[in-house]
Amino acid sequence: MLDDIERVLISRDRIEARVRELAEDITRDHATGRSPDRAELTMIPILTGAMIFCCDLMRYIPMAMKIGMVTVSSYPGTSIRSQGPSVLGKQLGDIKGRHVVLVDDILDSGGTIRAVVPMLQELGAASVRVCVLLRKNRPEAMATPCDYVGFDIPDEFVVGYGLDYDDYYRNLPDVVTLKRSVIPPHRAES
């Protein structure tokens, strides 16, 4: 698996530092006018890619918190281009009147966020803020409203820290690019 890496785009140390900063921003924004131990929020990671990021993020937010989950597929199988979002499942609990932070691993087309945010609003969330680890330098991504962004990255296919290729590489601690020999040429066009 390590032999498949072309280069490390974002190291685990940079990720950890940025996750702490994002947690501070989220805490500050949701505790305005009250102490963090009196504020509450609901964290909703988009599975499976945002799972690791959300777990690390939550550990640095000193607030009462509930957790929901939503499963969305945009990259089925070995596809490296978004095929459009499809909500596969949700376990949200009652979010009516709650402040929600939707957590995603990567923002590239904006389709997932445009599909999930209105769903959460329709379920009665008091507010919905979006936190993404990575935002690709693409017009669609830059035009999609997002409250918290970990890193802006070039428009490249990346894996690691929760992001995958065919369900592999999620456990890498860094965000990396893969060697061209790992991704068959016909997949690059998918």
Global confidence as pTM = 0.86
Kindly state the helix (H) or strand (E) to which residue 26 belongs, with its residue range.
Answer: helix 12-30
pLDDT value of residue 79? 52
Q: 2-188 has which CATH code?
A: 3.40.50.2020
Distance CA 37, CA 31 (A): 8
For 5-61, write each residue's pLDDT tens digit: 999 999 999 999 999 999 999 999 988 766 656 678 999 999 888 999 999 999 999
Instruction: Write down the catalytic residue from 108, 147, 155, 164.
Output: 108
Token pair in block for residue 2: 């390590």
Helix, strand, coil % over all residues of the chain, rounded to 5 = 30, 35, 40
pLDDT value of residue 181? 87
Active site residue 108: yes
pLDDT at residue 91 is higher than 70 = no
Q: In whole numbers, what is the pLDDT of the chain averaged over residues?
A: 87
100 phi and psi, to 5 degrees? Answer: -115, 140
pLDDT value of residue 122? 92
* pLDDT band of 72, cuts 50, 70, 90: confident
